[in-house]
């Protein structure tokens, strides 16, 4: 990400807060690039009237943020479930 645009030596010499800002900017740019790629695959269909036209800004706003999944299980229930998964995997590998 950052090494595409900036000199790696300069990146290594940055202080942590400046590096964090550059990294955050690079991640946001990469997300926007991926969204633009997705939008451009849909654009011909919108242009032909096969889909409702949406501006890029509307398309981005409708994608939403990745929201954490709410889990109502206790840590013990999660651990028990994962142990069952591991045991099933181990049985499968032994065969």
Residue 64 inside a domain? The answer is: yes
Give the end-to-end CA distance of the chain in Å, rounded to a whole number: 43
Residue 78 inside a domain? The answer is: no
Residue 87 inside a domain? The answer is: no
Q: For residue 82, give Cα distances in angstroms to 15, 64, 68, 77, 94.
A: 40, 30, 19, 9, 18
- pLDDT in single tens digits along all 95 residues of the chain: 445 556 767 777 777 888 888 888 888 899 899 999 999 999 999 888 888 999 999 988 888 665 666 788 898 998 999 899 889 888 888 87
Residue 44 inside a domain? The answer is: yes
Residue 91 inside a domain? The answer is: no
Domain interval for residue 25: 2-68
How many domains, in total, are found in the chain? 1
Residue 77 inside a domain? The answer is: no
DSSP string, 25-86: HHHHHHHHHHHHHHHHHHHHHHHTTSS----HHHHHHHH---PPPP----HHHHHHHHHHHH
């Amino acid at each position: 990400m950052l090494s595409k645009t900036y000199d790696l030596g300069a990146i290594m010499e940055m202080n942590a807060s400046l590096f964090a800002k550059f990294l955050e900017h690079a991640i946001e740019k990469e997300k926007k690039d991926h969204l633009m790629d997705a939008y451009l695959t849909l654009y011909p269909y919108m242009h032909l009237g096969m889909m409702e036209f949406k501006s890029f800004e509307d398309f981005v706003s409708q994608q939403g943020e990745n929201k954490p999944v709410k889990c109502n299980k206790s840590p013990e229930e999660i651990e028990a479930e994962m142990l069952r998964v591991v045991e099933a995997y181990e049985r499968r590998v032994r065969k």
